[in-house]
Amino acid sequence: MATIKFILQSKSDNAPIYLRLSLSKSKTLKRKTGLNFNPKNWSTDTGLPKQNYADEKNLTSDLRKLKDFVLDKVNDANKKNDEVTGDWLKHNIDLHFERITENKQSELIVDAIQNLINNADFRKNAKGGIGLSKSRKNAYTSLKNIFTDYQKENSYKVKDVNVKFANDFLKYLINDKKYSKSYALKKIADLKTVCFDAETEGIKTHPQLKKIDSTKSKNETIIYLTPLELEKIANADITTEALQNARKWLLLGCNIGQRGGDLLNLNENNFVIRNGYEVIELKQQKTGKNITIPVLQTTKDILETGLPYKISIQKLNEHIKEVCKLAEIDEMTKGGIIEVTKKGEGNKHKRKTNGTYPKHELITSHVCRRSFATNQYGILPTPLIMQITAHSTEKMFLNYIGKNSLDYAQQIADFYTLQAQKEKKEPQFNVIKNASNQ
């Protein structure tokens, strides 16, 4: 008959408690329980804390429950003729304390993050396909590194993630790590995804998990180039070939509304004729969506001498700042600039520092998509702009350009006003037309 006794093998103040499982005279297994205790208050006779120890009752109760659990598992194994080994014993100790699930999936947050990373190539992605992008894998790797620093000596479990836990982690990201609010909220959203993913593996989650708010806050500062500023850039006295090339990319980008990566990948093959209309067709890297953009006269004017030559996104960001500086795009504007700091040998950290800067210092390739969306809002139909920028919902689009429902209501009012004016003109036009036919 199997017997269990708990023992200490160290004289340190915080000695690990071992579970010794005797299956027969010739077979004894021993594994750590994950609990610790001071040997001075331990009874070697009973294999439990001494009765005069203040918290003896709680620990004794935990150990007795573990003993009963393991003995039940031994009986089950014997019925199924399963082999009881050291690994088997460790698994069931962890299973009892809910450190893992039946399928050996760890309940620790850092392990759940790593499990998601390990299976990233087989996860369904936002495009409906299989496999996460390299950027998403990097995002979860970053989350694991950040969270490991956050928990220090603690070992937080997936089920610990409730509203308070998320708020405390968010404060750490913003106050201690100095991350921007938008980036910090992305990390909270990533943590929620990890927990939901772990839940599918049978791991317990907190009832408040769905109530954790990771919604991206409304854009407080929208950096875009106005039509007047774009005109100043087009007319600026720029003599160097590299900056002239960057200016061309910038003007083209603001005219077709695409992200920097998609913009720089354009070539002659993207320009086609469909149903007699010249259009640009491309597949966005981030969304995987196929986009069709009409080639307007302004686009033709920009490309009169052909497409600009290829450069890296880093060079583009560097050059367009200088282009905008030469064009005197220097209005003091609220925003954030990326500062690179060194932390230890060879380690570089990027941080966004918010403040008020000359506008040209805030310009990056992303200004192209936002400038197009903002400048065309109220001119082109909103669904058409969204088709070009690939925003999934109108709410996302309005938040992107810093508009709200009142702005949209004004657009509707302007539309009806325009329609009313057209209706007033139409009878006059018809009368003149009839008179000319008599």
3-state secondary structure 31-57: EEEEEEECHHHEECCCCEECCCCCCHH
Taking the alpha carbons of 398, 400, 404, 410 in that order, is the dihedral positive or negative? negative
Residue 380 burial (10 A CB sphere; 0-12, 13-18, 19+): middle
Closest CA to 111 of 144, 139, 89: 144
Q: Are 373 and 400 in contact (CB under 8 A)?
A: yes
Residue with tokens 């947050």: 109
Q: pLDDT tens-digit profile of 214-262?
A: 886 655 578 999 999 999 999 999 999 999 999 999 999 999 999 999 9
Query: Is-contact 179 187, C-beta < 8 A?
Result: yes
> Residue 19 burial by CB count (10 A; 0-12/13-18/19+): exposed, middle or buried?
buried
Amino acid identity, residue 213? D
pLDDT at 392: 81
What's the confidence (pLDDT) of residue 346?
Answer: 52
Encoded amino acid at 170, one letter: L
What residues of the chain score a pLDDT lower than 50? 426-438
For strand 277-283 and strand 42-43, is the pairing parallel, antiparallel, or unpaired? unpaired
Which amino acid is residue 215, in one-letter code? T
| Signed CA dihedral, 340, 342, 347, 349: sign only | negative
Give the pLDDT score at 409: 55
pLDDT at 430: 32
At residue 391, the pLDDT reads 86
pLDDT at res. 285: 85
Task: Tally Cβ neighbours within 10 Å of residue 23.
Answer: 16
Q: Which residues contact 234 (CB under 8 A, 6 or more apart)?
A: 247, 251
CB 49 within 8 A of CB 43: yes
pLDDT score of 202: 84
